[in-house]
Amino acid sequence: MKILLVGATGTLGLSVLEVLRERGHQVVTASRKGSDVSVDITDPESIGAMYAQVGPVDAVASAAGHVPWLPLREMRHQDVLDGVAGKVVSQVELVRQGIETVTGSFTLITGVLGRDPLRTGTVAALANGAVEAFVRAAAIELTQRVNAVSPTVFTESVAAYGDLFAGIEPVPVRRAANAYVRSIEGHQTGQVYILE
């Protein structure tokens, strides 16, 4: 398959890229820098330009999305908007603009905070829950399949985030990457693949 991987340079994206290439797929990478195609997923015009450049693909895999981590009392209105734009609207836009050129499936990224919130993770919880609701709703309307991968913190990221996720079992990033394979090569739609 020809697969467009958005967010290909992060911890998750690099693992998804490795697994998909091992399985013989042609992967076109996209991110702000260091990929085949440059894209800013918070800019709808940039997403449109990416799709125009890449052309038809069998699947889109999103491993991108940024949210601010702030205590609720310190959060500004703009922080909430930035989080929703960075992880929700951006991924919705990947699906919306890809409807005409993606033939098989979309796989989006959410995370544990949508079901198990933490201090300073309010915007992340909001964004993850919204993406998961979008996946379930979009599956009813799309001819393409659409799913989400929802991991806990990655084993490889515990040094950076471990204190925030105290007591939550980390998962190897490769396990999350394999969930993308399940979404892309499988037959289900409207699913949230929970990795705990």
CB 57 within 8 A of CB 102: yes
Of 22, 24, 23, 52, the closest CA to residue 37 belongs to 52
Measured CA to CA, the distance from residue 9 to residue 41 in angstroms comes to 14
Q: Under 8 Å CB-to-CB from 175, ≥6 apart: which residues?
A: 151, 195
Query: What pLDDT does residue 188 have?
Result: 98
Query: What pLDDT does residue 168 have?
Result: 86
User: Which amino acid makes up residue 79?
Assistant: D
Query: What pLDDT does residue 102 have?
Result: 98
Query: What pLDDT does residue 165 have?
Result: 86
User: What is residue 84's DSSP assignment?
Assistant: I
Rounded to a whole number of angstroms, the distance between the first and last alpha carbons of the chain is 28
Measured CA to CA, the distance from residue 196 to residue 190 in angstroms comes to 19
Q: Which residues of the chain have pLDDT under 70?
A: 162
Query: What pLDDT does residue 4 have?
Result: 98
Structure tokens at 18: 């490795």
pLDDT digits (tens, 9 = 90+) for 142-185: 999 999 999 999 999 888 876 888 888 899 999 999 999 999 99
Query: What pLDDT does residue 42 have?
Result: 97
Query: What pLDDT does residue 65 have?
Result: 94
Query: What pLDDT does residue 162 have?
Result: 67
User: Alpha helices of 99-172 — where are they, by DSSP H?
Assistant: 122-141, 158-161
Average pLDDT, the chain: 96
Query: What pLDDT does residue 72 have?
Result: 94
Measured CA to CA, the distance from residue 121 to residue 27 in angstroms comes to 32
